[in-house]
Amino acid sequence: MIPAEFDYKAPATLDEAVALLASDLDGAKVLAGGHSLIPAMKLRLAQPQLLVDIARIKSLAYIREEGDQILIGATTTHYQLESSDLLKRICPLLPDCAKSIGDVQVRNKGTIGGSIAHSDPAGDWPAAVLALDADLVLVGPNGERTAKVENFFVDMLTTDLQPGEILREIRIKKPNGRFGHAYQKVPHPASGFAVVGVAVNLVLNDDDSCKSAGIGVTGVGVKAYRANAVETALAGTGLDDNAIAAAIAHVCDGIDPNSDLYASGEYRCHLAQVHARRAIQAAKARVQ
Amino acid sequence: MSATYFFEPKNFTFPFGTHIAVVEVDRETGDIEFLRYIAVDDCGRVINPMLVDGQVHGGIVQSIGQAMYEEVVYDETGQLVTGTLMDYALPRASHIPEFELDRTETPSPVNPLGVKGVGEAGTIGATPAIVNAIVDALAPFGVKHLDMPIKPENVWQIINRG
């Protein structure tokens, strides 16, 4: 439970952080809250030579509207997202997801950017940002680029982040029209991580039919994913029980489900279907 | 000058009580939820009611752990795979119901205070009450016995496979 020796730097700016990472591409790791990296270091599953702590860069934690987008700084804490009146009004999926994470101490320290960049297969944020079709702003030694979140999660604990890159900002298109959000989660009784988590972002037409659905799923496979087949099956339907039942049957399409002491793959897939249905129904009920 | 005195009660004390768990099983997921938890214990004359209630609370929570969560698991190579609290589930505040406690006071005749033990009342009463409540809920599926800890997947298997 004692980590291997490492250096620690707390840069004042993002540019400094990028330079520090570039100084040791193999040995440096970004620290952005530390609720996954520090436990991994204590178990010596991770042994970085240098920790670059970006959670202390004050200008990296924010939630604001800009044009038709919501911009969220990478080191915004779970608690800041959970308690944001702006988000509760214009994008309630984010506070809903935030409040399901860990406990109060975890939410006060852990960050959305840290969770997304870590790509834990049972993390909550990946499901939410997938359902919202977010863009991620990544900054590295060669400047800045924007990545679609759908292509960002590559494998277990592996993302499209290139060596030296830092996730700087999450950009979400402001939900408009008649939308409804919901996040349904089965927390593991010990760890609190998602055995299954389903995030739903529904948009309805004026006649109550489904204009579009964004469905993000976590906990089921090696990485969080968008349930494209469910989204397609819901679009255009009246979201009646039969339409939802037909759609959720596809929630694990193409996924090799995780199996562990708490839930077999078969049970996990079943839970994903049940909670996808409940989340879709909850989101529909919340449409204004 | 010195004096030594031994007190040896004439007999054991026999605390008793009744624990009742009311649970609801989610047919789709196998999740188990407490609707009520009632415990009436008799530990003789109660000197500090708060301490007695605390003992009962703690015992019931420990029982919930035994009945529904706590399990030591080794893999085929003998490696303990529930070695941390990330894997070994203890009941948390969100896992436990509101307790409805009451008591009767039947003083013990075998000691001057009339007291009886209460430390184990919760652990003795609650585990079977919880397990029996779940078994009762699953009686329509022919269930007469369940191994502890009773986890949602086990319940789901029973409901779906019969």
Question: What ipTM describes this predicted complex?
Answer: 0.90
Place of tokens 């060596």: A163
Q: How is domain B16-155 classified at the architecture level of CATH?
A: 2-Layer Sandwich (3.30)
Distance CA A277, CA A285 (A): 12
pLDDT score recorded for residue B10:
86
Q: Measure in Å the smallest separation between the Cα of A203 and chain B Cα atoms.
A: 27
Distance CA A68, CA A175 (A): 9
A184 sits in which H/E element: strand A178-187
Q: Give A-chain residues touching B151 at CB under 8 angstroms.
A: 262
Mean pLDDT, residues B98-124 taken together: 95
Contact of A262 with chain B, judged by CB distance below 8 Å, is answered with yes
Q: Give A-chain residues touching B90 at CB under 8 angstroms.
A: 190
Contact B86/A190, CB-based, under 8 Å? yes
Which one of B87, B153, B156 has the shortest CB-CB distance to A190?
Answer: B87
Contact B86/A191, CB-based, under 8 Å? yes
Contact of A267 with chain B, judged by CB distance below 8 Å, is answered with yes
Strands in chain B per DSSP E: 16-25, 32-42, 99-103
Contact of B151 with chain A, judged by CB distance below 8 Å, is answered with yes
Q: Give B-chain residues touching A261 at CB under 8 angstroms.
A: 71, 73, 81-82, 87
Closest C-alpha to A191, from A111, A106, A127: A106
A283 C-beta neighbours (distance < 10 Å), count:
29
Place of tokens 């010195």: B2
Contact of B73 with chain A, judged by CB distance below 8 Å, is answered with yes
Q: Measure in Å the smallest separation between the Cα of A172 and chain B Cα atoms.
A: 32
- Chain A interface test: which of B32, B153, B157 (most A C-beta within 10 Å): B153
pLDDT score recorded for residue B146:
96
Q: Measure in Å the smallest separation between the Cα of B148 and chain A Cα atoms.
A: 14
Q: Give B-chain residues touching A264 at CB under 8 angstroms.
A: 153
- A151 phi, psi to nearest 5 deg: -100, 0
- Longest CA–CA span in chain B (Å) reads 76
Place of tokens 């009004």: A89
Contact of A264 with chain B, judged by CB distance below 8 Å, is answered with yes
Average pLDDT, chain B: 95
Provide the β-strand partners of residue B17: B41
Contact A274/B29, CB-based, under 8 Å? yes
Contact B87/A261, CB-based, under 8 Å? yes
What token pair was written down for A133? 């079709």
Provide the β-strand partners of residue A63: A72
The single-letter code of the amino acid at A164 is: G
pLDDT score recorded for residue B40:
98
Q: For A191, which residue in chain B has the nearest alpha carbon?
A: B86
Instruction: Give the residue ranges of chain A where pLDDT is below 50.
Output: none
pLDDT score recorded for residue B76:
96
Contact B90/A267, CB-based, under 8 Å? no
What token pair was written down for A283? 């989101």
Mean pLDDT, residues B141-153 taken together: 96
pLDDT digits (tens, 9 = 90+) for B60-89: 999 999 999 999 999 999 999 999 999 999
Distance CA B121, CA B57 (A): 10
- Longest CA–CA span in chain A (Å) reads 62
CB distance B126 to B19 below 8 Å: yes
pLDDT score recorded for residue A218:
98
Q: For B149, which residue in chain A has the nearest alpha carbon?
A: A262
Closest C-alpha to A201, from A81, A123, A115, A282: A282
Distance CA A241, CA A276 (A): 12
pLDDT score recorded for residue B87:
93
Confidence of residue B162 (pLDDT cuts 50, 70, 90): low
Cite the DSSP H helix spans in chain A.
Answer: 14-22, 37-42, 78-82, 85-90, 93-99, 104-109, 112-118, 125-131, 228-234, 241-248, 265-286
Contact B156/A267, CB-based, under 8 Å? yes
Distance CA A248, CA A274 (A): 8
**Hey, what domains does chain A have and what are their CATH numbers?**
7-54 (3.30.43.10), 61-173 (3.30.465.10), 178-286 (3.30.390.50)
The sign one gets for the Cα dihedral A94, A96, A102, A106 is positive
Distance CA A198, CA A268 (A): 12
Q: For A266, which residue in chain B has the nearest alpha carbon?
A: B153
A184 CB-near residues (< 8 Å, 6+ apart): A197, A198, A200, A275, A276, A278, A279, A282
Rg (CA), chain B: 20
- Residue B3 φ/ψ region, left for φ over 0, alpha for ψ in the -120 to 50 degree band, beta for the rest: beta
